[in-house]
């Protein structure tokens, strides 16, 4: 199976360490940290218009379940300091139907 990729831009997902008390299972999650990803780029406007906040979101996958959901970020550098250099288990891949659920719009 191929390395998990973002369905919005095609970039490989990166593992990142979870913040303390994040409420997610496991030690890490997978996310697209491409600042040119259209999902991330349009998220700034969507969050401002819908919630009046200066934030965006990145495509995220829970490696335990393969379920995608948005990962809220408050700045372009948010959570980038938590990116892990480890190899990602290539058996983690969201289904095509579930990858479409990973957007907030």
pLDDT band at 89 (very low <50, low <70, confident <90, very high): low
Q: Residue 62: beta bridge partners?
A: none
pTM over 0.85: no
More confident residue, 16 or 91: 16
Residue 26 buriedness (CB in 10 A; 0-12 / 13-18 / 19+): exposed
Average pLDDT of the chain to the nearest whole number: 83
Contact yes or no for 61/4 (Cβ under 8 A):
yes
């Amino acid at each position: 199976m191929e390395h998990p990729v973002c369905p919005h831009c095609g970039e490989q997902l990166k593992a990142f360490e979870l913040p303390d008390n994040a409420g997610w299972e496991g030690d890490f999650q997978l996310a697209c940290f491409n600042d040119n990803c259209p999902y991330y780029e349009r998220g700034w406007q969507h969050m401002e218009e819908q919630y009046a906040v200066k934030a965006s979101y990145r495509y995220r996958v829970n490696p335990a379940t393969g379920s995608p959901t948005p990962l809220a970020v408050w700045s372009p550098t948010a959570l980038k300091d938590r990116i892990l250099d480890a190899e990602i288990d290539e058996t983690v891949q969201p289904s095509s139907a579930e990858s479409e659920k990973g957007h907030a719009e």
